[in-house]
Structure 1
Amino acid sequence: MKFLLFSDLHLDTPFSWAGPDLARRRRHALRDTLCRIVELAEELDADAIACAGDLYEHERFTPDTANFLRDQFARTECPVYLAPGNHDWYGPASLYRQVEWTPNVHVFTEDRLLPVTMDDGLTLWGAAHRAPANTDGFLAGDWRVERSGVHVALFHGSEAAALAFQEAGKAPHAPFSAEQIERSGIHHAMLGHFHTPRDAERHTYPGNPDPLSFGETGERAAVLVTVHDDGTVERQRHPVASTAVHDVTVDVTGATSSSEVRARTEAVVRGLTGIVRVTVTGEVAPDVEVHLGDLDGVGAHLDALVPRLGRIAVGYDVQALAAEHTVRGQFVRDVLAAGLDEDEQRRVIVTGLRALDGRASELEVH
């Protein structure tokens, strides 16, 4: 049996790192990605679509989102199984309760694993988060399957061993261990919550199918999980993201003007598409001004350029300045004699020298 698995789409996410217009475009891009997933299920002749939670944002969804989801799943004859997570938890005001779903859609509504009998002796076990936090592990205690055949689970949860390498800030919702999967009699678990894709022996995290932030690693994809008669699986990842998101660094060390900073940035982003966050870093001469506003219009071919300042150092020759018989020379000598540690000394000198030069800058002094 073939499941097309995805999770963590997060429809209606605010994209707080983007401006209003870009955030709106990103939210529409997430909808386009779901359309692609539904179409991909037909192309791959999948037996079912499975969503392992966080399909949408409970605090932000609108009636328009509900209508969109109903229409997308109604346009396929493929069965759709939805296991609510901590962001789309199943409660009295849940979107899942407000939609009159077509018969091919099955929403798991209980905070314990319940079975759905599939074809060829396969049972799908699914569960839902019924609160935004503090959901116990669905495999906790001595939970075991109570029937023969092949068993596959679908839920939103945190595999303990994965917490060490997954993205920072992920709380352990519905925690479990890989050993609990084997002990329970589940042959394979299809999971949501972690945004970094992971294929383990007995479980699969597809990761979010479309970029939500910068710095994400792994392919943005839906996973075709083929379950064999002996409970083993094959997995194929199929890219479905509607937009590419890149995180790049522009080293401006040695730049002699703001125009050169702009040119170096243009060169770095020239071959990229989609949305690019540029971190400007390096050591520049004292008379070079680095302003993010100077990058306006760079990467006109992109959907968006999001610039930020990284570690920018100003290359003053401190010893030469200290030898000057000037106000700034006296200032440098006074700072050097103050007994500050090396980092603080540099910050004070650079800040003071730029102030003496009457120069305002967005530079963060390091």
Structure 2
Amino acid sequence: MIRFLHGADFHLDSAFGALPPGQAAARRRESRELALRLADYVKEHGIDLVLLAGDLFDSASPFRETGEQLAAALGQMRARVFISPGNHDWYGPGSPWETVDWPENVYVFKENRLTAVEVPERNLVIHGAAFSGPEQPESLLAGFTAPADGKCHIGLLHGELDGAEARYGPIRREEAAASGLCYLALGHVHKRTAPLTLGRTVCAWPGCPEGRGFDELGEKGVYEGTISDGGEVSLTF
């Protein structure tokens, strides 16, 4: 059995423009502590795998110390960590994904197409991709089907399902259903969605773990899940 944590949309270094400068700076400092709290949770609950589905930074050029603090927190996790950059923190020259020294347990997807990383000790394959700019009009899941090789295949993407406009990694229901993935870990939608099963693939958005304004109210957090040896997924928010 694999025990995993799925988070997204930290938006570190958000401007908090509605607050006075001093309060906004304090909120930015507080938001950087999120990754440290997650690291403690991962260690205390025996998490094997951490899936982070993009927009961890509010922009592709956050303060360098913010990237370094995130890297240090992720390095404390006794787990493999996988990251798919999104539309706010897209992968490109000068982005923290290039300039920060990420620890050995962290893998950042860098290509604007699905690529795969095997975790042989878990009979697991992670498929992910990165935004290479602030918009991604094509589906990164289009035409993809995981091989039927007895391994558990997980997808990690930033995008929206049947979005109103094709700007941010649109994913079609039929693509998810045909993917053959055990789990599709998604980011971009800031409100948590209940798990959705399409074909044999369980899809979910955990939403943003901290609200940044009165338009982001409600319970916040991450998904913790397990995947059985038979590929069955169970999720708890």
The answer on 1:188 being equivalent to 2:189 is no
User: How many residues are matched?
Assistant: 229
**Alpha-carbon distance in structure 2 between the residues aligned to 1:69 and 1:228:** 30
Match in the other structure for 2:128: 126
**Alpha-carbon distance in structure 1 between the residues aligned to 2:230 and 2:213:** 39
Alignment of 1:1-366 (within 5 A): 1-118=2-119, 119-140=121-142, 142-148=143-149, 149-160=151-162, 163=163, 172-198=167-193, 199-201=195-197, 202-237=202-237
Inter-CA distance 235–109: structure 2 relative to 1 (3 Å threshold): same
Residue 172 of structure 1: how far off its partner (Å): 4.2
Contact 1:109 1:127 in 2 (8 A): yes
TM-score normalised by L of structure 1: 0.59
**Alpha-carbon distance in structure 1 between the residues aligned to 2:115 and 2:146:** 10
> Larger deviation: 118-127 or 27-36?
118-127
**Alpha-carbon distance in structure 1 between the residues aligned to 2:90 and 2:175:** 23
The alignment partner of 1:221 has SS state of coil
For 1:62, give the aligned amino acid. Answer: F
For 1:225, give the aligned amino acid. Answer: G
Match in the other structure for 1:342: none
**Alpha-carbon distance in structure 1 between the residues aligned to 2:230 and 2:78:** 27
Identical aligned pairs, as a percentage? 32
**Alpha-carbon distance in structure 2 between the residues aligned to 1:59 and 1:111:** 15
Contact 2:49 2:81 in 1 (8 A): yes
For 1:134, give the aligned amino acid. Answer: Q
The alignment partner of 1:231 has SS state of coil
Match in the other structure for 1:320: none
Q: Which structure has the highest helix share of the two?
A: 1
**Alpha-carbon distance in structure 1 between the residues aligned to 2:217 and 2:22:** 25
Contact 1:7 1:191 in 2 (8 A): yes
Larger relative contact order (C-alpha < 8 A, sep ≥ 6)?
2
**Alpha-carbon distance in structure 1 between the residues aligned to 2:176 and 2:89:** 24
1:46-101 Cα deviation digits (max 9, x unpaired): 00221100000225511211221221122233221111001110001110101122
Inter-CA distance 204–182: structure 2 relative to 1 (3 Å threshold): same
1:142-181 Cα deviation digits (max 9, x unpaired): 2222351221101101111xx47xxxxx874110123211
The alignment partner of 1:151 has SS state of strand
For 2:207, give the aligned amino acid. Answer: G
Contact 2:50 2:80 in 1 (8 A): yes
**Alpha-carbon distance in structure 1 between the residues aligned to 2:136 and 2:114:** 17
For 2:128, give the aligned amino acid. Answer: G
> Larger deviation: 8-17 or 20-29?
20-29
Contact 1:58 1:95 in 2 (8 A): no
Contact 2:74 2:106 in 1 (8 A): yes
1:172-215 Cα deviation digits (max 9, x unpaired): 41101232112121122000000000122220100000111113
Match in the other structure for 1:277: none
Contact 2:91 2:131 in 1 (8 A): yes
1:251-299 Cα deviation digits (max 9, x unpaired): xxxxxxxxxxxxxxxxxxxxxxxxxxxxxxxxxxxxxxxxxxxxxxxxx
Tell me how large the CA RMSD over aligned residues is.
Answer: 1.8
For 1:173, give the aligned amino acid. Answer: Y
- Structure 2, unmatched stretches of 5+, are none
Contact 2:42 2:78 in 1 (8 A): no
Match in the other structure for 1:303: none
1:230-265 Cα deviation digits (max 9, x unpaired): 32211112xxxxxxxxxxxxxxxxxxxxxxxxxxxx
